[in-house]
Structure 1
Amino acid sequence: MTTKDTSLSLVAYDPTFLELSWNWLNDSEIKKMTHTPDFTRDEQHAWFAGLASKTDYKIWGLQYNGKPIGVCGLKKITGTDAEYWGYIGEKQYWGIGLGSAILQLIESEAAKAGLYSVWLSVIPENIRAIRLYRKNGYTEENQQGDLLIMRKRI
């Protein structure tokens, strides 16, 4: 799927994205903003091997003009909602307006799956992301520990 206004697309999450994700998620800034715990390559490969059997988890690679730039998906999928997660790993693509397009793509996938809402968790220090989510119709639902929970009805 590609958005109408950009060259951004969701593509299969394959070994190329798996390898890039290792680098992206071990970047200290991305690790903090995504609330990612430490993990080993063996753990990452075991996780990847188990993806095909998961029914409550969807993952896509993000390509911009054909270049892999990040990863996003839906997890904790129920019959009514799912948690959005994602990140742009290639930092030169931060702040150029791709966030809204990513949300549009994810919300489209959620609607196709028959979901009524999408929620997400974000650390309160990630002001840029919170601004993006508010701009795109997400509202603050509650705080769970050190994470802010936001939701949008689709």
Structure 2
Amino acid sequence: MILDKELHIRLMKSGDFDLMVKWLNDQRVLEFYEEPPSNLGRVINKYGPRIEGKHYVIPCIVEYKNESIGYIQYYEIPETELKKYDYQGNQNIYGIDQFIGEPKLWGKGIGTKIIQMMLNYLCNKGASKVLLEVKNDNVRAISSYKKCGFKRIKDLNNNLVLMEWIAKID
């Protein structure tokens, strides 16, 4: 789907469920990713419909040097969700959520590259803006998002911050 020298973002498939269970049970990952510890049934129930195209969220797996290392999802934000953030509908506003599931790879600039790749991809799909929520104490992620051009918009409930990236129009 999206390919760079060492990084590949591809669509998630059912063969990735066990990886997701592994990552979603790592306390270091869950400290920053808004999800409870998981099991195979929960992963299948949540991600199965997404893989099958029965949900608006598009799930992807990130590979680094041919090893699966993380997860990223993207979606056009539904109008009802946009209102929650005080945005008007029909603006081609996308959302993304992601994590690197292998903590040994944190702090190496890989996350920043993944985000940049996804932003380029979404820009080519016509995105005008991309929004994300991040825990306000996730300093490493916030720094990465800022490097990619995200700006802090406002504080949300539950210690979350809304950040926005605006596509550059040529």
TM-score, normalised relative to structure 2: 0.82
Counterpart CA distance in 2 for 1:55 and 1:35 is 19
Show CA shifts across 1:55-114 (max 9, x none).
521111100111000010113535511111101101121111112210111112211321
Decide whether aligned partners of structure 1 residues 54 and 108 sit closer, same or farther in structure 2, where only a CA change above 3 A counts: farther
Partner of 1:9: 8
Provide the secondary structure at the position in 2 that maps to 1:33.
coil
Counterpart CA distance in 1 for 2:47 and 2:149 is 32
CA RMSD of aligned residues (A): 1.7
2:31 corresponds to 1:22: no
Q: Quick one: which amino acid aligns to residue 49 of structure 1?
A: G
Aligned pairs (5 A) from 1:78-117: 78=78, 79=90, 80-117=92-129
Structure possessing the higher relative contact order (Cα contacts under 8 Å, 6 or more residues apart) = 1
Q: Which runs of 4+ in 1 moved over 4 A?
A: none
Post-superposition shift, 1:153? Answer: 0.5
Aligned pairs (5 A) from 1:36-47: 36-47=35-46
Counterpart CA distance in 2 for 1:40 and 1:96 is 29
Counterpart CA distance in 1 for 2:38 and 2:6 is 32
Partner of 1:150: 163
Provide the secondary structure at the position in 2 that maps to 1:49.
helix
Counterpart CA distance in 2 for 1:35 and 1:60 is 17
Q: Quick one: which amino acid aligns to residue 9 of structure 2?
A: L
Q: Quick one: which amino acid aligns to residue 150 of structure 2?
A: Y
Post-superposition shift, 1:28? Answer: 1.2
Q: Quick one: which amino acid aligns to residue 154 of structure 2?
A: N
Contact 2:152 2:162 in 1 (8 A): yes
Counterpart CA distance in 2 for 1:122 and 1:70 is 17
Partner of 2:58: 58
Counterpart CA distance in 1 for 2:70 and 2:142 is 19
Post-superposition shift, 1:20? Answer: 0.7
Provide the secondary structure at the position in 1 that maps to 2:46.
helix
Aligned residues: 152
Post-superposition shift, 1:37? Answer: 2.7
Provide the secondary structure at the position in 2 that maps to 1:148.
strand
